[in-house]
Amino acid sequence: MTQENASSEIYLSIDNLWKVFGSFIALKDITLDINEGEFVCFLGPSGCGKTTLLRAIAGLDLQTKGTVMQDGKDVSNLPPSERDFGIVFQSYALFPNLTINKNIAFGLENAGRSKLEITDRVRELLQLVGLPDQGQKYPAQLSGGQQQRIALARAIATNPGLLLLDEPLSALDAKVRVHLRHEIKELQRKLGVTTVMVTHDQEEALSMADRIVVMNHGIIEQVGSPTEIYREPANLFVADFIGEMNQIKSTVLNGSRLSIGETTFACHSHNFDDDMLVVAAIRPEDIIPHEEGYVSDAENGNCIEVLLQEMEFLGSFWRCHLQNNKFGISGLMADFSINAIRRLKLLKGKDMVIELPADRLMAFDRPEVD
């Protein structure tokens, strides 16, 4: 995850921003800085306020309270036409009765450019998005992915300082989506334009963003690079929302140990007091498999014996359902490489030993009982 474009210069600064619809609080005290040239993703479940925040940044739906600073200028109450941004919507909002050329040229007119300059710029943009000879067509004559790229070209035509993308890929099928992810990211890197993208697809966010803003119910749960968000989730919501996570009820024991069922495990450092009720969490791919009867040499071996109850082949790895009633652990999920399965001769119904590496075993607040 490169950040070569992103300087440490703050370009967009959101301060104590609230948005209220009637009596419903859609955004609650959001504070966030975005650096120049950075690619930031707003990620969160449906209805968490991502679009609302994006529209507040654009001035399309003004926030109720709080300020937005862009490029050192307070734009909090400016209408969209007086801000500096390009935007791509989920629907693309291409003008259906105008050709691709005219769609892209729409924003270039009335700004003192000559006809020739405009034609050149349109050609250059079509080249940039890889559709050099589609200019004479109408939007309905292009595929979804092509339309998406035209919308992008139209948005960046005027060289805006900020590019806003609201779920730009969600209307496309999976394969085109993966391909375009890469292209958009490439383009953004080339142009160095500060970009905010809204998505509820974690894979999209993880693969594209320099930084991810995880949102939930109108608040920011965590801001960080994709690896940070994935490896060091700030709380159980983030841990659970991004990637897979085994969750086991447990209790804190002498500082850095957790008691699960009748066993204790060493774990990642945390700030909980002793005897607190917490959730122990570990990702399936962090569980290390060992053959039956394996005994760890280390003191904090974190090994337990389990039954390999179910195996599911998922192409590049096996998803295994592990059971251990004796230790009170039920329904642990683990992803083992094909290699490991072969090497350890693991079969459905066999016993085995697994190791929960201490630095991957995390403790989180237990959510209130629903």
Ligand X SMILES: Nc1ncnc2c1ncn2[C@@H]1O[C@H](COP(=O)(O)OP(=O)(O)OP(=O)(O)O)[C@@H](O)[C@H]1O
Contact residues for ligand X, defined by CB under 6 A:
21, 24, 26, 44, 46-52, 200
Return the number of other C-beta atoms located less than 10 Å from residue 34's C-beta: 24
Which amino acid is residue 368, in one-letter code?
E
Q: Which is nearer to ligand X, 177 or 200 (CB)?
A: 200
Q: Which is nearer to ligand X, 55 or 360 (CB)?
A: 55
Q: Please state the closest distance from residue 62 (CB atom) to Mg ion, in A.
A: 17
Which residues sit opposite 198 in a β-bridge? Answer: 42, 166
Q: How many residues bind Mg ion (CB under 5 A)?
A: 1
Q: Please state the closest distance from residue 169 (CB atom) to other proteins, in A.
A: 16
Q: Which is nearer to Mg ion, 49 or 224 (CB)?
A: 49
Phi, psi of 84, deg, nearest 5: -120, 90
Q: Which is nearer to other proteins, 158 or 309 (CB)?
A: 158
| Strands laid side by side in the 362-365 sheet | 263-266, 257-260, 246-253, 277-282, 362-365
Q: Which is nearer to other proteins, 43 or 258 (CB)?
A: 43
Phi-psi region of 218 (alpha: psi -120 to 50; beta: other; left: phi over 0): left
State the binding string over 44-83 for Mg ion (x if CB under 5 A, else -). -------x--------------------------------
Q: Please state the closest distance from residue 296 (CB atom) to ligand X, in A.
A: 44
Task: Render 123-191 in DSSP notation, one character per residue.
Answer: HHHHHHTT-TT-TTS-GGGS-HHHHHHHHHHHHHTT--SEEEEESTTTTS-HHHHHHHHHHHHHHHHHH
Q: Please state the closest distance from residue 115 (CB atom) to Mg ion, in A.
A: 38
- The closest residue (CB) to ligand X is 51
Chosen from Mg ion, ligand X, other proteins, none, partner binding at 21 (C-beta under 5 to 8 Å by type): ligand X
Residues near other proteins (CB under 8 A): 16, 18, 20, 23-29, 49, 58-60, 62-66, 76-83, 85-87, 89, 91, 93, 95-98, 106-107, 109-111, 138-141, 154-155, 157-158, 160, 216-219
Cβ contact 19:67 at 8 Å: no
- Nearest to residue 340, comparing CAs of 359, 317, 321? 317
